[in-house]
């Protein structure tokens, strides 16, 4: 048995994701040779600071249909965090299982050794001081980081940080080292459309491009970029009002929630630093829409994604520093027969493995607090759907099981 872990959002699952799983299982010279695949997947909110386009239950079903054997949840504080904390939370769960051999991820460069060198640069003694020199110039964190790495290791390594999946891959490797994990990193070169490209390349389109098509009410135009099983699940979700989730459905609720926050409460949000709460407090009192609030907050230093995460953190009740810790449990969302074999191998897991919502009653207060946050987020997420759902989704949705 060779178990490979994948970190994913599947927002939505597309041909590129199917290719990644296929290569993770492949035994040829380019493949990973995994016999079993476990994915740690974001729940109803994703790293960009937005609601996922489809319910996590539908995305779990798609993942199992697409070749994943076991789907675990990345809890909200890590799912909606910076790349560093997102990676650390997900890798902690895979390492916590105690039986994962390989971490398989896509990257633009397709070179694990090169990504390892980038991590070496981040861990060098003068990286931190150089980073702060550039941050003090008022530029964004990603640009400051890239300039610092350029001074340390040269342009070839620094240019890796220009691509989103390279950057995530670097954070995965950094997290493996931080944990002292025995899991080996393995990267697969991405091809086709890039991370946020609007136009497809062949039958590969970016997830953001596909979301744009679906949100515009033209799901049939997205069909060439989706495996057949995804099209079926997507069609069912659209027909039954479970898709697409839309910020516009809840934006006044978000604004109302933010207007009730004090400066002190805003200062405690993840991603707030250097007095940013003052700028946010003022923008909240002036903005009449979500997009206007973002526009009033956005600067060279503070990107759209960072601001969106802060806004939704306030709406969902997140506070800072939780994302810097490890998730306290491993929650199973879906499995097949091979997934059950993985769980049997994980009997020595470092964290409690939870398969029923009622199990949280027996866990510690930290675990209960994280799960309560997840419950609240799901109930609020459902209001963003075309057909809002009742509260209690985390208790009514059962583990999705699929037979091989």
Q: What is the pLDDT of residues 242-296, one digit of tens each?
A: 999 999 999 999 999 999 999 999 999 999 988 899 999 999 999 999 999 999 9
Virtual torsion, Cα 144, 146, 150, 151, nearest 10 deg:
20
**Domains delineated in the chain:** 1-108+165-244+322-404 (3.40.50.620), 247-321 (no CATH)
CA distance 205 to 192: 7
pLDDT at 87 over 70: yes
**What pLDDT is attached to residue 195?**
59
pTM: 0.95
Mean predicted confidence (pLDDT) in 307-320: 95
**What pLDDT is attached to residue 144?**
93
The DSSP code for 386 is: S
Q: What is the pLDDT of residues 339-353, one digit of tens each?
A: 999 999 999 999 999
The DSSP code for 397 is: S
Tokens 């993770």, located at residue: 24
Mean predicted confidence (pLDDT) in 50-56: 97
The DSSP-derived string for 43-73 is -SEETTTEE-SS-HHHHHHHHHHTT-SEEEE
Q: Rounded to the nearest 5°, which phi and psi values hold at 170?
A: -60, -40
Do 351 and 90 touch, CB atoms closer than 8 A? no
> Within 13 Å, how many C-alpha atoms sit on residue 312's CB side?
29
pLDDT at 73 over 60: yes
**What pLDDT is attached to residue 197?**
61
**What pLDDT is attached to residue 198?**
65
CA distance 276 to 396: 39
pLDDT at 165 over 90: yes
Stated as kind and residue range, the H or E segment containing 351 is none
pLDDT at 194 over 60: no
**What pLDDT is attached to residue 196?**
59
């Amino acid at each position: 048995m060779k178990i490979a872990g994948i970190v994913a959002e599947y927002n939505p699952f597309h041909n590129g994701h199917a290719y990644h799983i296929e290569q993770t299982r492949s035994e040829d010279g380019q493949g990973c040779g995994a016999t079993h695949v476990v994915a740690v997947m974001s729940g109803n909110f994703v790293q960009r600071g937005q609601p996922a386009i489809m319910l996590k239950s539908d995305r779990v079903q798609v993942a199992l249909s697409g070749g994943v054997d076991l789907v675990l949840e990345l809890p909200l504080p890590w799912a909606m965090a910076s790349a560093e904390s997102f990676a650390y939370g997900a890798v902690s769960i895979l390492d916590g299982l105690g039986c994962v051999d390989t971490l398989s991820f896509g990257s633009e460069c397709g070179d694990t050794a090169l990504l390892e060198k980038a991590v070496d640069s981040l861990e060098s003694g003068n990286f931190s001081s150089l980073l702060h020199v550039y941050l003090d110039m008022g530029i964004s964190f990603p640009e400051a980081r890239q300039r610092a790495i350029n001074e340390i290791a040269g342009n070839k390594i620094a240019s890796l940080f220009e691509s989103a999946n390279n950057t995530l891959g670097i954070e995965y490797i950094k997290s493996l080292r931080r944990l002292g994990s025995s899991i080996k990193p393995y990267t697969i070169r991405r091809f086709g459309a890039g991370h946020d490209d609007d136009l497809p390349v062949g039958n590969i389109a970016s997830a953001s491009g596909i979301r744009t098509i679906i949100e515009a009410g033209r799901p049939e135009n997205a069909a060439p970029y989706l495996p057949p099983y995804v099209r079926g699940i997507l069609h069912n979700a659209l027909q039954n009002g479970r898709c697409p989730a839309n910020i516009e459905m809840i934006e006044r609720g978000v604004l109302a929630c933010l207007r009730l926050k004090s400066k002190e409460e805003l200062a405690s949000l993840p991603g707030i630093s250097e007095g940013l709460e003052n700028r946010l407090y003022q923008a909240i009192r002036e903005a009449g829409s979500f997009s206007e609030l973002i526009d009033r907050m956005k600067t060279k230093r503070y990107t759209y994604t960072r601001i969106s995460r802060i806004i939704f953190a306030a709406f969902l009740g997140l506070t800072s520093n939780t994302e810097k810790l490890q998730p306290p449990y491993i929650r199973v969302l879906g499995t097949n027969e091979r997934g059950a074999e993985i769980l049997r191998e994980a009997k020595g897991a470092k964290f409690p493995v939870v398969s029923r919502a009622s199990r949280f009653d027996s866990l510690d207060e930290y675990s209960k607090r994280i799960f309560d946050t997840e419950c609240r987020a799901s109930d609020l997420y459902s209001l963003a759907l075309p057909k809002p759902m009742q509260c209690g989704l985390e208790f009514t949705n059962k583990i999705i099981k699929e037979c091989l």
